[in-house]
Amino acid sequence: MSKILVTGGAGFIGFHLSSRLLARGDEVAGLDNLNDYYDVNLKLSRLKQLESRDKFRLHKMDLSDRDGIRRLFENEKFDYVVNLAAQAGVRYSIINPYSYIDSNIVGFVNILEGCRHNGVKHLVFASSSSVYGANTKMPFSVHNNVDHPVSLYAATKKSNELMAHVYSSLYGLPCTGLRFFTVYGPWGRPDMALFLFTKAIKEGKPIEVFNYGKMRRDFTYVDDIVEGVVKLIDHLPVPNPEWSGDAPDPATSYAPYRLYNIGNNNPVELETFITCLEDCLGRKAVKKLLPIQPGDVPATYADIEDLEKEIGFRPATPIAQGIGKFVEWYNKYY
């Protein structure tokens, strides 16, 4: 049994991860500020599920609260930290950029400092497929440079990877960054396409289909994401003896630092995604076809070779099965 801090504990992935860790016997401290970026009632419903379990407690706090985070780490002495808390959303970063700096940059350095000063064995943190930005070589590999983000959200996630490397290099803090690819499933975020589409189709309203339905996404079911995270918590990164500054590998280091993609390794066109959803709902969508939005990328596709090699795991939930589970949850919850 370990004591694990999960930031963003009332969030979509944080809720599922906390449930999984509690099921295997870990003590879980959730941290969340319960902000109103989306429906707080959904977050409270997730928390109600978690708080009915032994060995879970919530700390309502903002990541940017330097003194609060410092005291939390000093008092609790966590074994492991999984940082999932962040201001999410590519499009919202165009509207409200400052919230991304407060949560994703200031908040992350507070987490790094807490880990550094309190003997945390391993920091696992959420990055994002959005860091690939203007890259077009596919599948996206963690061994390729990602220096051309197209949204501030992506830039903050790239910054997190760089900040973690500094702490790994200077202080020997083992850090693993995980680039998640379009996560979906039960209890998902209401600002994500699957949730928005389901709600609109059930209400007979049109859905906004960007890039005229030609977007391709490596949709990854949440249980697959969580399984990868749990396996990697216990898989501490070690220095790469072959790392060279003459040809630096972005995914590894001379320090205990590692980056992985967690994606389904099977990009699906948005039109196909919508067809699967229509089949599950038994209703046709009214589509409003629109051009691609600023900050979006036309396609994502994860190279997961390293994930398979290191922990013997690859996401495998078919899109139709995953959408079916989401629709089943949505109908029950609402």
Residues annotated as part of the active site = 153
Place of tokens 């990868």: 228
Q: Which residues of 269-283 are buried (b: 16+ CB within 10 A; e: fewer)?
A: ebeebbebbeebbee
The residue count of the chain comes to: 334
* Angle (nearest 5°) at CA 316 between 314 and 319: 145
C-beta separation of 310 from 257 below 8 A: no
C-beta separation of 146 from 250 below 8 A: yes
Place of tokens 């350095």: 109
**DSSP E strand boundaries for 186-323:** 206-209, 216-217, 220-221, 257-262, 268-269, 286-289
For residue 115, CA distances in Å to 4, 120, 243 come to 12, 5, 25
Q: Which residues share a beta bridge with 31?
A: 7, 59
Asked if residue 256 has a cis previous peptide bond (ω within 30° of 0), the answer is no
For residue 11, give every residue at least 6 positions away whose Cβ sits within 8 Å of its Cβ, in sequence order, or none. Answer: 32, 43, 46, 84, 85, 189
Helix (H, G, I), strand (E, B) or coil at 83: strand
